[in-house]
Amino acid sequence: MRTCDECGEQIEGMPYECNGCGGAHCSRHQLPENHECPGLDQWNDPRGVFAGGPEAGGTGDGGDSLTARLGIDGITGYFRGNVTYLFLGLMWITFALQLASGFFLTEAQRRALFVVSSQHPEFVWTWFTSIFAHGGFFHIATNSIVIFFFGPTVEDLIGSRSFAGLFLVSGALAGLAQVFATALSGPLIGAALGASGAGLAIMGFLAVIAPNMTVRINFILPVPMWALAGFYAALSVFSTAVGGPGAGGIGHIAHLVGMAIGVTYALYVQDRVGPVETLGFGGGPGGRRRGPF
């Protein structure tokens, strides 16, 4: 497996090869300015940037494109390292579509689009659309907070492709588990929507990979990740035991299944990811951090 010439991190899949220096780099160091590329000195020289044109004796097609020189593999390159924010955007777009659909779709049609249910488990698209759909503003806001603060760290550790797989698989399986647990516990039709299962998978992953990683919340004492994840797991177990799998209108089984998937995946890859020490909410010192942290 190739390693990044800048930080030494093992690279999953094909590395980014810089056209300026010829080095192989991870997603965080793909841009020339992020790995002190000597080719940056040529940016003030038109021949360095637009080499291959007629003046340079080329074929007239301009040579390598600018995206190639920046290490971006076409349109998909813009999403690499940013899948967390892509999913957050899809969540809010889906929520807006839910609200708008109330003006021209029946309730049954809306449920067939956005809600995974025991009544129609064969509606396979709802296994995934339900991850991005939510039951209200507070529901999507709380899930967005969890994914926004924890998602980029996990994506940075395992790569965008693996993160997307973890998010979608955990979200779908958590929703299905909630649906059938509710249906089996009584006469109610099991139904679920929301990214809670995926969010708890992210937390469960970090609880294994970085159990002592400090979550710093302003005005609240620092909390280790294992304690934060353990609190949510214990709350879901207690609520299920007392009021059933959907007690309080919350998908407790989805939470537990999502966290279990995150923990299981973390155990599988823990020898291949780097350490994380501190995550700051709104400030404070940090360890290995990314994006808004």
Cβ-contact 277, 214 below 8 angstroms: yes
192 strand-pairing partners? 116
Give the best-scoring range by mean pLDDT among 72-86, 99-113, 206-220. Answer: 99-113
Give the residue-averaged pLDDT of 261-269.
95
| Six-digit token string for 113 | 């689009």
pLDDT of 61 above 50? no
Burial string for 220-243 (b: 16+ CB within 10 Å, else e) reads eeeeebeebbeebbeebeebbeee
Angle at 12 between CA 24 and CA 39, to 5 degrees: 15
Interatomic CA distance for residues 173 and 196, integer angstroms:
11
Give the residue-averaged pLDDT of 101-105.
91
Interatomic CA distance for residues 98 and 19, integer angstroms:
45
pLDDT tens, position by position, 181-201: 888 877 667 888 999 999 999
3-state percent helix, strand, coil for the chain, nearest multiple of 5: 55, 5, 35
Residue 77: predicted pLDDT: 52
CATH number (1.20.210.10, 1.10.150.530, 1.20.1540.10, 1.10.10.60) of 83-281 reads 1.20.1540.10
pLDDT tens, position by position, 211-228: 988 887 665 678 889 998
pLDDT of 21 above 50? yes
Which part of the chain has CATH 1.20.1540.10? 83-281
